[in-house]
Structures are given as C-alpha cells and as structure tokens.
Amino acid sequence: MRHTSVAVALGLGIAIGAAGATVARGVDDDVMGSRAVDWKDMTVRPTKVGESRQVFQNRTATLDELELHITTLQPGQTPHPPHQHPDEEVLIVREGTVETFLGDRTQVVGPGSVIFQAANQLHSIRNVGTVPATYHVIKWNSPGMKPKK
C-alpha cells in the first residue's frame, strides 16, 4: 500500500507542478490547441488580385503566433510588391504556376513546390500561369519577435 500512496502523491505533485508551470508561463485559453479545418468551412475573402482564406492566426504553446492563410491569385497578379519582414514564411503551391522573387533571383515553380522566404530578405510571388494559382502560407513569430501591444 505504501507504494500506491507514493505513486498517487507523486502523480498529484507532477500534475500540480505542471499546472503551476502553465500559469507561470502565461499559457491560457488564447493558446491554440490541435485542430482540423475543413476546406468547405473556410471563409473566402475576395481581394483585388484573387481571394484569400485565413485558416488561423493564433498563439501556440511554443510560438507568439502561428499563421496559416491560403491565397489564390488570378493570372498575372501579385499580392504585393517585394517586401521583407523579420518573420520567416513557407509557401506550398497547391495549383497553378508562380514566379517567386527570392532576394537576388526569381524561380518559376508549380503544384507541390515549396518556397522558403527567409527573414529580412526581399521576396514576392506572382502568378505567371494562365489559370488561377493557389498557395498556402505558413508564417510564425518565435517568442519575443512579435511586438508587444
């Protein structure tokens, strides 16, 4: 019986310690948990160059912010001129053909291709095909990168 009591006390101590650590780190209901978002449930927002779907943009247990949005560009369109920012992005081309500007060069890629846009490097993307191009953008802010509000 003594081993059972020790195990219960140890388990309770670990649970209380984990709860205390969570509160101490400031983790609360704003932290995004695991989720699945069905394509048909995403809100489509028309833009001047195509359309956009914001999947999520939330704090996680390890990041100040994790964002996923999906952009569709009409042929010949770009969402913005070349720009740079401190966060990194990964783009996954779902359909169509795009030209990506990566600081010192351009590259044309198609469905299934992956683009990494490094921090503080000029980048942009343009649909160079004859049909709409759709791509997923995954962007994150590591702890301390996101400006405090």
Q: What is the pLDDT of residues 115-142, one digit of tens each?
A: 999 999 999 999 999 999 999 999 999 8
Predicted local confidence at residue 50, as pLDDT: 98
| 2-25 pLDDT per residue, tens | 444 444 443 434 333 434 444 444
- Of 42, 137, 45, 134, which Cα lies nearest the Cα of 87? 137
For residue 14, is it left (φ>0), alpha (ψ between -120 and 50) or beta?
alpha
Task: Look up the pTM and report it.
Answer: 0.78
Domain boundaries, the chain: 1-29, 39-141
pLDDT band with cut points at 50, 70 and 90 for residue 28: low
pLDDT above 50 for 104 = yes
* CATH fold for domain 39-141: Jelly Rolls (2.60.120)
Placement of tokens 């009591």 in the chain: 5
Residue 92's identity, in one-letter code, is I
pLDDT above 70 for 52 = yes
Residues in the chain: 149
Find the Cα–Cα–Cα–Cα dihedral 78, 82, 87, 90, rounded to 10°. Answer: 40
Residues 142, 88: Cα–Cα separation, whole Å: 10
Give the mean pLDDT of 84-109.
Answer: 96
Class of residue 63 by CB neighbours under 10 A (exposed 0-12, middle 13-18, buried 19+): middle
